[in-house]
Amino acid sequence: MALITFKGNPIQTSGELPDEGATAPDFKLTKTDLSDVSLKDFAGKKKILNITPSLDTGVCATSAQKFNEAVSKLTGVVLLNVSADLPFAAGRFCESHHLQNVVALSTFRAPDFAKAYGVRIADGPLAGLTARAVVVLDAQNKVLHAELVPEIAQEPDYAAALAAVR
């Protein structure tokens, strides 16, 4: 369990963010076409998991856009944006913002993802959503970088995440 803030007010998450060097927990999340995917579907690629509460918020939208632009210049890297948004809404967001490098994934069928990755918000007005975090994995799903952003209204450390994936 970690203590973070939402607009300065303390809230707690359940579970623990995966440690650097550990193997990332597998998952089954839903893509915008309603198919389910797991880590094996991205085998052989480095992965940036941009975990957000909802793409409908300004900071979440900004992080998806900034990572989308950065990933467009990298090879062998896939950007997975994970949120509780329904697949339809995430798809519309990516389409309307021209985010061609984002694989939008929804936790709506997989509430266990948030606890396995230590990002389930346990209390406060956003209880049940995912906290803002970035987890970078190598091609074998070892954690290269993990950041639980301490304030939900704050952007992640893009430079640290991108340095880890290079």
Q: Which of 17, 39, 59, 60 is catalytic?
A: 60
Q: State how far the Cα of 94 lies from the Cα of 87, in Å rounded to an integer.
A: 11
CB 68 within 8 A of CB 163: no
CA dihedral 22, 25, 29, 31 (to 10 degrees): 30
94 labelled catalytic: no
Tell the residue number behind the tokens 């900034």, with chain if given.
Answer: 66
Q: Which amino acid is located at 147 in the chain?
A: E
DSSP string, 46-96: EEEEEE-S-TTSHHHHHHHHHHHHHHTT-SSEEEEEEESS-HHHHHHHHHH
Q: State how far the Cα of 128 lies from the Cα of 143, in Å rounded to an integer.
A: 24
CA distance readout (Å), 46 to 15, 81, 105: 24, 14, 16
Catalytically annotated residues: 60
